[in-house]
């Protein structure tokens, strides 16, 4: 009996998590939460029309307000090759929507005192020692040719830099600077590798900018994923599953879809719409590799990701399970760039009216953006077309899933504006 009592707390905790995982988000009719069903249906009608014309394959839209899912519908095709209809539980490559999940995972360790934002990256990955790194500065010689000169770092890369994309790291697939060319020449994305091995590749390359000076879209979240591994002593997915995904019931979210019973639900693009950035191709999540890309490797469903969004909108808690403190969520979703860090370059995909927090673009001005929204809303998207945003002022979040890199920008703006047009009160 005493032995049984000793295991009771752990058993109760396990049962509580299992119950939480089984729970779905509450539902309501759109009218019950101040939304127009007719106006939300316009979005699905448009997707159906464009799917029939071969403009986009298909999509899933989920809209939640006041703690309840008011719209959860699918339209178009799951796979253009088979013409199978899009199901609501379709599995999507969410690409950079992995970044907020990685950042929340790192902030769990932050709350546990295992990492600090001001910590130098080299504390966790010695290859990023400031003495070993250099910043690539483009110069033009007398003949007009561009050359790359290497300069020492003015200060170390910090964990905060990784979370807000001010590390000086970059992506080789977005743009054509000499540093980006060096990334592509080094073939950093070729082959299969662990997070540890990938960090070693990146550490050998010059930085695009001095740390803490410019927002530059980058592999920062991939390196942050490696920090999570070092600080926790666990592989990234294992840590995320134990501390976040399983607790929220995000059982369809991971880095690969190895379960054959689920593979038929993977959303596919048109054959001629598989390119992302400069030359990179959409991969196959059915084939398991070693890399757990915290910056762009995850797959998920609209409902799974909705649980993550509802937890954030609830300021860190869902179904009685607290992931983060309310103050930590507030801290993450405020402006971490200010006026001194440049963020108006061509890769600042959040656009006018936004700054950046920790893992999320954060709206700081209602009038400058071309998209409707509220000051304080926060968002990010995936390069294949998936998108989400959380609007605390309206007590609302939206998850939109599509697999079409070429339609990505158009649909991000279109869906956001049409959802706000559906608010009646």
pLDDT given for residue 18 in this prediction: 45
Predicted pLDDT of residue 2: 52
Give the tens place of pLDDT for each residue, 162-177: 999 999 999 988 888 9
Per-residue pLDDT, averaged over 382-395, amounts to: 97
Distances (CA, A) of 275 to 161, 193, 272, 403, 405: 28, 22, 8, 11, 7
Q: Are strands 280-281 and 275-276 parallel, antiparallel or unpaired?
A: antiparallel
Angle at 199 between CA 192 and CA 275, to 5 degrees: 50
Taking alpha carbons only, the member of 364, 358, 359 closest to residue 377 is 364
3-state secondary structure of 389: strand
Q: Is 322 buried (19+), middle (13-18) or exposed (0-12) by CB count in 10 A?
A: middle
- The closest alpha carbon to 227, from 309, 117, 153, belongs to 117
How confident is the model at residue 349, as a pLDDT?
Answer: 83
Residue 160, classed as helix, strand or coil, is helix
pTM for this one? 0.93
CA angle centred on 397, ends 394 and 401, rounded to 5°: 150
pLDDT in tens, 240-284: 999 999 999 999 999 999 999 999 999 999 999 999 877 788 999
The CA distance from 191 to 303, in Å, is 32
Q: Are 268 and 78 in contact (CB under 8 A)?
A: yes
Q: How far apart are the first and last CA of the chain?
A: 57
The continuous run of DSSP H or E covering 61 comes out as: strand 58-65
The answer, yes or no, to whether residue 390 has pLDDT greater than 90, is yes
CB atoms within 10 A of CB 328: 18
Angstrom CA distances, 151 to 85, 139, 202, 255, 394, stand at 54, 12, 17, 37, 47
CA distance 47 to 392: 27
Nearest Cα residue to 109 out of 69, 186, 162, 51: 162
Instruction: Classify residue 351 as left (phi > 0), alpha (psi -120 to 50) or beta.
Output: left
For the segment 186-230, what is each residue's pLDDT rounded down to a tens digit? 999 999 999 999 999 999 999 999 999 999 999 999 999 999 999
Residues 378 and 363: their CA atoms lie apart, in Å, by 6
Distance (Å, rounded) from C-alpha 94 to C-alpha 387?
8
Question: What phi, psi does 319 have (nearest 5°)?
Answer: 50, 35
Q: Which domains does the chain have, with CATH numbers?
A: 47-97+237-420 (3.40.710.10), 114-232 (no CATH)
Q: Which phi and psi angles does 298 have, rounded to 5°?
A: -90, 160
d(CA 177, CA 136): 10
pLDDT in tens, 298-332: 999 999 999 999 999 999 999 999 999 999 999 99
The DSSP 8-state label assigned to residue 87 in this structure reads P
Share of the chain above pLDDT 90, in %: 86
Local structure of 328: helix, strand or coil: helix
């Amino acid at each position: 009996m005493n032995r049984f009592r000793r295991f009771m707390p752990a058993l109760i905790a396990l049962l509580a998590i299992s119950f939480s995982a089984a729970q779905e988000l509450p539902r309501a009719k759109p009218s019950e939460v101040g939304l127009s069903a007719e106006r939300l249906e316009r979005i699905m009608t448009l997707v159906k029309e464009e799917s029939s014309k071969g403009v986009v394959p298909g999509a899933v839209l989920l809209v939640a307000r006041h703690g309840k899912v008011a719209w959860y519908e699918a339209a178009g095709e799951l796979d253009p090759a088979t013409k199978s209809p899009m199901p609501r539980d379709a599995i999507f490559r969410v690409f950079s929507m992995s970044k907020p999940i990685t950042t929340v995972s790192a902030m769990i360790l932050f709350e546990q005192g295992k990492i600090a934002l001001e910590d130098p990256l080299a504390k966790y990955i010695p290859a990023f020692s400031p003495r070993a790194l250099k910043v690539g500065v483009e110069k033009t010689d007398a003949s007009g040719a561009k050359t790359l000169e290497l300069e020492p770092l003015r200060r170390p890369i910090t964990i905060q830099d990784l979370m807000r994309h001010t590390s000086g790291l970059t992506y080789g697939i977005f743009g054509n600077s000499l540093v980006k060319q060096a990334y592509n020449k080094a073939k950093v994305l070729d082959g299969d590798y662990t997070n540890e091995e990938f960090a070693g590749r990146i550490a050998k390359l010059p930085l695009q900018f001095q740390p803490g000076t410019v927002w530059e879209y980058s592999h920062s979240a991939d390196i942050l994923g490696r920090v999570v591994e070092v600080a926790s002593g666990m592989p990234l997915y294992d840590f995320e599953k134990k501390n976040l995904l399983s607790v929220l019931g995000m059982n369809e979210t991971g880095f690969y879809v190895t379960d054959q019973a689920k593979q038929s639900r993977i959303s596919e693009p048109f054959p001629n719409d598989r390119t992302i950035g400069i030359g990179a191709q959409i991969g196959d999540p059915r084939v398991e590799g070693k890399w757990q890309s915290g910056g762009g490797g995850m797959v998920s469903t609209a409902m799974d990701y909705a649980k993550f969004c509802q937890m954030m909108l609830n300021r860190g808690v869902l179904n009685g399970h607290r992931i983060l403190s309310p103050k930590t969520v507030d801290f993450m979703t405020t402006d971490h760039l200010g006026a001194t860090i440049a963020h108006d370059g061509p890769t600042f995909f959040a656009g006018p009216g936004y700054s950046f927090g920790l893992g999320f673009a954060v709206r700081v001005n209602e009038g400058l953006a071309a998209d409707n929204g509220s000051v304080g809303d926060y968002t990010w998207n995936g390069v294949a077309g998936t998108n989400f945003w959380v609007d605390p002022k309206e007590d609302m979040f939206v998850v939109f899933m599509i697999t079409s890199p070429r339609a990505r920008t158009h649909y991000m703006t279109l869906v956001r504006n049409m959802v706000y047009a559906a608010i009646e009160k």
